[in-house]
Amino acid sequence: MSTPTRGTRVGGGGQASMFRRCAAACVLAVALSAAAVSATSDVHQMHGSGTTNPSKFFWKVMDILEERARTPITMTYRAVGSSTGQKEFIGADNTPAYDAYNHFGSGDIPFSAADHTLLKTTHSKDFIQVPFMIGAISFFHSVPADDLPA
C-alpha cells in the first residue's frame, strides 16, 4: 500500500471541493429566499443561526457572495449553538408562533422526526436538511514520561 503524497486526493475530494459544494448550497439558498422577498425590496436578505463550528466558514462564504452578487444582498449568521438555531428556525416560541426568525439553521444534530412532522403537516412549512460538513475532532492521550522511549 502506497502512502499518499502531497497533492494526492484522498477520500472526498478535498477542501476546495467541499468549499464549492457548500458555496453552491448557499447560492441556492439565496436564490430560493430571494423568491420570497417582495418585489419592492432593493436588497435581498438571508439570515441564519446555529452551531459555532462552521461559523467562520459561513462568514467567509457570505462575504464572497455579497461581494460578487449582481443584485445587492445582505447575509448574516449568528453562532448561537445548535439548539438555539433549531428553536429559532422552528419558531414555536416566536411571536407569531411558528414564524421563523431566520431563513436557515445549522446544527450538529438533525431535526427530530416529531419537529419535522410538526412543521410540515401542522404548520404547512416544508424544509430540507442538507448534511454538508464534518467538523474536526481530535483525540489526545497523556503518556507518562517514564513510558516514553529514550
**Predicted pLDDT of residue 66:** 94
| Rounded Cα gap, residues 126 and 116, in angstroms | 8
Domain boundaries, the chain: 15-33+43-126
Q: Report pTM.
A: 0.62
- pLDDT digits over 56-67, tens only? 989 999 999 999
pLDDT digits (tens, 9 = 90+) for 66-97: 999 989 999 999 999 988 988 888 888 877 77
Whole-angstrom distance, CA of residue 33 vs CA of residue 69: 14
Which CATH number is associated with domain 15-33+43-126? 3.40.190
Inform me whether the pLDDT recorded for 53 exceeds 50: yes
Q: Which of 37, 59, 41 is nearest to 50 (CA)?
A: 59
pLDDT-derived band at 9 (thresholds 50, 70, 90) equals very low
Residue 26 burial by Cβ neighbours in a 10 Å radius (0-12, 13-18, 19+): buried
